[in-house]
C-alpha cells in the first residue's frame, strides 16, 4: 500500500508478523498528520508486536506531525506494539529533541531496519487517505 497526501508519502507492507513503513517527504499540515495517524492506527490493529518505520527520506515534521506521532506511540504501547523509527536525519532528531518527543521514541540507525525490503524500496501500490 502507498499513501500520498500533498508532500507526505507512506509506503506500507508486510503481514502481521513483519510490518514495515517508509515515510517520505514532510508531515507539516493537519491533513498530513491525520493521514499519518490513520495509517498507523490501521497497522496497530493488525495485531503484530513490532512495526519497523524507515524514516531516511522523511525531511520535516511540524508540531502537528509530532502530535500525531506522540498519539500513535501511545496507541501502540496500549496495544503492546513496539515501533522502531529507523534512519532519522540529524535535522529530524533536533526537531524531535526540541519538543522532547525524541526521548519517547525507539530510534535506530537505518541499517537496523528489519521490515519488508519492498516497503523501503517503494514497491507497493498507491492508496489515498
**Are 8 and 36 within 8 A, CB to CB?**
yes
pLDDT at position 4: 52
Contacts of 59 (CB under 8 A, 6+ apart): 25, 26, 89, 91, 92
- Mean pLDDT calculated for residue range 77-98: 96
Model pLDDT, residue 129 = 58
Ordered by where they begin, the domains of the chain are: 2-120 (3.30.750.24)
Q: What is the mean pLDDT of residues 44-54?
A: 92
Average pLDDT, the chain: 90
Dihedral sign for Cα atoms in the order 66, 29, 91, 36:
positive
Amino acid at each position: 500500500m502507498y499513501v500520498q497526501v500533498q508532500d507526505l508519502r507512506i509506503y506500507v507492507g508486510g503481514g502481521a508478523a513483519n510490518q514495515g513503513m517508509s515515510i517520505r517527504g514532510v508531515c507539516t499540515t493537519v491533513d498530513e498528520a491525520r493521514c499519518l495517524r490513520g495509517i498507523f492506527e490501521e497497522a496497530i490493529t493488525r495485531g503484530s508486536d513490532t512495526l519497523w518505520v524507515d524514516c531516511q527520506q522523511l525531511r520535516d515534521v511540524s508540531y502537528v506531525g509530532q502530535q500525531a506521532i506522540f498519539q500513535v506511540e501511545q496507541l501502540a504501547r496500549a496495544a503492546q506494539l513496539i515501533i522502531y523509527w529507523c534512519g532519522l536525519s540529524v535535522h529530524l532528531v533536533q526537531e524531535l529533541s526540541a519538543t522532547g518527543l525524541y526521548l519517547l521514541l525507539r530510534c535506530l540507525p537505518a541499517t537496523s531496519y528489519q521490515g519488508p525490503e519492498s516497503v523501503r524500496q517503494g514497491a507497493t501500490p498507491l492508496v489515498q487517505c
